[in-house]
Structure 1
Amino acid sequence: KQKYIGYQNTIDTTGVTQISTSDPDSRQIMTRNNISEVAYTVQTTVDALHNIPIDFKVTNENDSKAMGGMLRRSKTILGHANFIAVYDKGYHTGSEFDYANRLGIDVLVAIPGVSAHAPDTAFDVEYFKYNKTADSYTCPAQETLTTNGNWYAKKNGKSITKMKHYKTSACLNCKLFTKCTKNAKGRLIERSQYAHLIYQNKVRIENNYEVYRRRQAIVKHSYGVIKRKWDFYYIMTKKTIKHAAADVGLIFSAYNLRRIFNLIDQNLLKQYLKVLALYFGVLIPVFNAFYGLFYFMNEEYFFPKRILIVV
């Protein structure tokens, strides 16, 4: 009992929401189909030309806030922002679109399904047309929903998003009221501060759908080999995210070597290996010479003399 009281005290005093007793850095994470596991998440950036991972980061959080950080790292690695990044719907977050926009990177992020439907799906929010000039919405009944211009804070987990509210008094006398909403005060549309960026992503998806369709073929190539062929559904090390990252790094290094060997012409690969062997052939004698000189001058450092007492 005292052990669990201690856990509760830790939560109350530190602000952490989870405590893992087997691995202090791991967390309960939704993995698939509402199934959760105590695990880590591996964020990976994969080159589309040869399906080679160029970057990874082990985290203990879900995907929703990961896109911006990985894009920043990719921009640093490549030295420019002239590329398109493709993500699944788990990365569809307004603040991350803002991060990508400030980096100057175009992203294609899958659009998740509507979380809440109107009583009649013909009145879902996607069928309300936004008028940018008037900052208003037109509903399927051709009524205009307006805003008072104020921003309201909406909390979602740890994050807070600013929202504008749009509504009209025409709802109360509308014949389609029951099909549109269950709210007795009428239909309310919320528009986030990132709505324009979310819309731009939708347009990019529509204009580059064939590019987006390549996502699974790109990223799942490496994970298919690592998980299915090599059976690395898990990591070998435990205790801290640092050790987990080292384990994942070794896995990706092995994959990249195998992938490169498969891509390079065998005769060309042999030439590269011969050059590499030549370098080692030159460097090893030099290293041995320096090592021998250092050893000779510091023999007592390696094998300190001991006093032997005979009794």
Structure 2
Amino acid sequence: MKFIQGKDRNQTEFFCLDQAVSEDNEVRLIDLFVGAIKLSDYGFDMSFIENGRPAYHPADLLKLFIYGYLNRVRSSRQLEKECKRNIELMWLMKGLAPDHNTIANFRKDNPRAIRKVFHATVSLAKNFELIGGKLLAGDGTKLRAQNSKKNNFNEKKIERHIAYIDDKLNEYSAILASEDNDLTAEKKQEINAKIDKHKQYKNKYEAYKKQLDETGQVQISTSDPDSRQMIVRNNITEVAYNVQSTVDAKHNIPIDFKVTNKNDSKAMGAMARRAKTILGKSDFTILFDKGYHTGTEFDYAHKQGVEVLVAFPDVASHAPDISFDVEHFNYNKERDEYTCPAGELLTTNGRWYNKASGKTINRVKHYKTKACLTCSLFEKCTRNKTGRFIERSEHMDLIDANKKRLQRNMETYRKRQAIVEHPFGVIKRQWDFYYVMTKKTMKHATADVGLIFTCYNLRRIFNLLDQNTLKNFLRELGFLFLILSSHFKTICEDFKERIYSETFCETSYTALLKQVYLSKKQIV
């Protein structure tokens, strides 16, 4: 026989779906992971009426999404197709093939519950000591929203559109008013139709402008109202969401994420607080880049008792001679005064002044000296005709302390990018998830991002742990959920002793119960 021959398509065979999926196939791990979660405690809706068409169980839809995201499939229509032709999904879904609307609505309606599933992966990683909890790194990445730049407006863009429309209306009106034209009735009707069309556009843009004035927002997106135009790199912008994430250094596992439509400058304090809640302690260090360097955020992190290392940003403006930059002025905290490189003292009147930075009001003190006007180094020091002027923020002590920590721990800080960019690199480069799949509102975007980070953590756990060890643990965990949900108050000592003798000692049992319920206490 010259070639390998296939089977006869008309041959009748006995087929077992379970035998078609190997024992080491990861769909079995997905099945066990979802089976170990008590979905009602996570916020999934389990109350369905008996009348009418039965609903799909949330566990089945969650399994479908986890499988899809792990295999780079996020589209509800594509997942519907895969249920009918993918042998692994046929096994996982037990032959079920939900409609794409059912699939999409499950993701859209359960953002809070999906976040808790993500925290379940964090608890699972903690149980196997995959999270060190000593060194973390935080950063944000932009994921493009389902909103084009064309459908994003700010005040200047709206004014340009209105000005263009006014010019066109004046042009059309001038044509109609001209006595020299030989316009036919048909041509006049065409021009009037264009005038009506432009007036409709003008009304739309004026409504956008009114909305900006009433809400105080700086921009508006019409397709996905919570998305914002942001700088993604250099001067390139996209209408996007900014996803903040905190990643543990031991195995590059994210322990937290948050979808925002703001830049990084006001995110550090909240990320530190959330990390403290998740880890249950504050004796860790978080690394951030210079985009997070904000005085109020240093104050917030300090109040949480969390140590941060934040890169020092470039000086916004230099003195004519850089040796006279403010960093070369020595501050005496006890006397509350600065000494300039020329040896002169810059003093303050002690008053605090409010300085607006966006919507935030910071308190600052002013320092100056009359000696500047007669100083021979005046031209090297400042371009201000009245002399050198220094503003000191009320948070400057914390900023200086961070700078000293950074100088002492530069080797540690150099790990930041390798830690926090690892998940982003996998998600955006390898998986091609550089955009948000869902439409309309940040809540829906959070569901999509939650599934992304859930599946990233599961991929890390599947890669790091022995599969049999993980399977045994998830089976026991699912068994404990069953016991705790139905017979918690009636578990006898003999039954607990049987569990101990099989796989657990009392200490590990107590620790496991703590991990089981840890996800309930996680922040949302």
Give the TM-score category using the shorter length. 0.7 to 0.9
Residue 230 in 1 paired to residue 442 in 2? no
Mapped pair 1:246 → 2:447: yes
**2:33 match:** none
Q: Give the equivalent residue in structure 2 for 1:55.
A: 256
Is 1:88 matched with 2:88? no
Alpha carbons 1:136, 1:144 under 8 Å: kept: yes
**Correspondences of 1:188-227 after superposition (within 5 Å):** 188-227=389-428
**What fraction of aligned residue pairs are identical, expressed as a percent?**
66
Change (3 A) 1:230 1:186: same
Q: Paired residue for 1:118, among 304, 319, 326?
A: 319
The reply on whether 1:138 has 2:138 as its aligned counterpart is no
Which residue of the partner structure matches residue 461 of structure 2? 260
Q: CA deviation at 1:155?
A: 1.3
Q: Tell me the equivalent position of 1:99.
A: 300
User: Which residue is equivalent to 2:227?
Assistant: 26
Q: Which residue of 1 aligns with 2:277?
A: 76
Q: Specify the code of the residue in structure 1 equivalent to 2:322.
A: T
Q: Relative contact order (alpha carbons < 8 A, sep ≥ 6): 1 or 2 greater? A: 2
C-alpha RMSD of the superposition:
1.8
Question: The residue matched to 2:354 in structure 1 has which SS?
Answer: strand
Amino acid at match of 1:124: D
**Secondary structure of residue in 1 paired with 2:317:** coil
One-letter code of the match for 1:100? A
Give the letter aligned to residue 35 of structure 1: I
Which residue number corresponds to residue 245 of structure 2?
44
Report the residue type matching 1:147 in the other structure.
T
> Per-residue displacement from partner, 1:39-82 (whole Å, max 9, x unpaired)?
11001011111110111000010000011111111111111111
Looking at structure 2, the residues matched to 242 and 98 of structure 1 have their Cα atoms a distance apart, in angstroms, of: 29
The residue type equivalent to 2:374 in the other structure is N
Counterpart in the other structure of 1:6: 207
Q: Which amino acid aligns with 2:434?
A: Y
**Counterpart residue type for residue 275 of structure 2:** S
Which AA in structure 1 matches 2:271? M
- The residue type equivalent to 1:95 in the other structure is T
In structure 1, C-alpha distance between the alignment counterparts of 2:282 and 2:376, rounded to whole Å = 51
The structural deviation recorded for 1:272 is 3.7
Q: Distance in 2 between matches of 1:145 and 1:211?
A: 36
Work out whether residues 26 and 241 of structure 1, in 8 Å CA contact, stay in contact via their aligned partners in 2.
yes
Give distance in 1, aligned partners of 2:474 and 2:333.
61
What one-letter code is carried by the residue in structure 2 that aligns with 1:81? Answer: S
Q: Which aligned runs of 4 or more in structure 1 are off by greater than 6 angstroms?
A: none
Equivalent residue for 1:176? 377
CA contact (8 A) 1:25 1:239 kept: yes
Post-superposition shift, 1:30?
2.5
Instruction: Normalising by structure 1, report the TM-score.
Output: 0.87
1:154 has 2:355 as partner: yes
Structure 1 match to 2:114 = none
Which among 74, 91, 108 is matched to residue 309 of structure 2? Answer: 108
Cα distance in 1, alignment partners of residues 271 and 474 from structure 2: 33
Structure 1 gap segments, 5+ residues each: 287-311
Secondary structure, aligned partner of 2:251 = coil
Partner Cα distance (1:251, 1:81) in 2: 27
**By percentage of residues, which structure has more helix?**
2
In the TM superposition, what is the alpha-carbon distance from 1:279 to its structure 2 partner?
4.1
Distance in 1 separating the partners of 2:236 and 2:316: 18
Q: Which has the higher strand share?
A: 1
Letter of the structure 1 residue corresponding to residue 299 of structure 2: D
What secondary structure sits across from 1:233 in the alignment?
coil
Amino acid at match of 2:444: H
**Amino acid aligned to 1:69:** A
Report the Cα offset of residue 32 of structure 1: 2.2
Instruction: Give 1:266 shift.
Output: 4.0
Distance 1:265 1:140 in 2: 62
Aligned counterparts of 2:236 and 2:387: Cα–Cα separation in 1: 36
SS in 1 for 2:219: coil
TM superposition shift of 1:3? 0.3
SS in 1 for 2:387: coil
Count of residue pairs the alignment pairs up: 282
Partner SS state of residue 161, structure 1: strand
Q: Which amino acid aligns with 1:41?
A: N
Q: Is the 8 A contact 1:30 1:62 kept in 2?
A: no
The 3 A distance-change label for structure 1 pair 133 and 274 is closer
Q: Aligned partner of 1:180: which letter? A: C
The Cα of 1:35 is off from its aligned counterpart by: 3.0
Residue 34 of structure 1 deviates from its aligned partner by: 3.5
Tell me: CA distance 1:273–1:196, structure 2 relative to 1, closer, same or farther (3 Å).
closer
2:247 partner letter: V
Find the aligned partners of 2:306 and 2:335 in 1 and give their Cα distance.
29
State the distance in 1 between where 2:229 and 2:212 align.
15
Show the counterpart of 2:20.
Answer: none
Secondary structure (helix, strand or coil) at the match of 1:268 reads helix
Name stretches of at least 5 consecutive residues in structure 2 with no aligned partner: 1-201, 487-524
- Aligned twin of 1:129: 330
What amino acid maps onto 2:358 in structure 1?
G
How far off its partner does 1:174 sit? 0.8
CA deviations on 1:128-173 (whole Å, 9 max, x unpaired) are: 1101111111111111111111111111221111111111111001
Change (3 A) 1:196 1:273: closer
Secondary structure of the residue aligned to 1:19 is strand
| Displacement after TM superposition at 1:271 (Å) | 3.8
> Amino acid of the residue matched to residue 141 of structure 1?
A
Deviation, structure 1 residue 31: 2.3
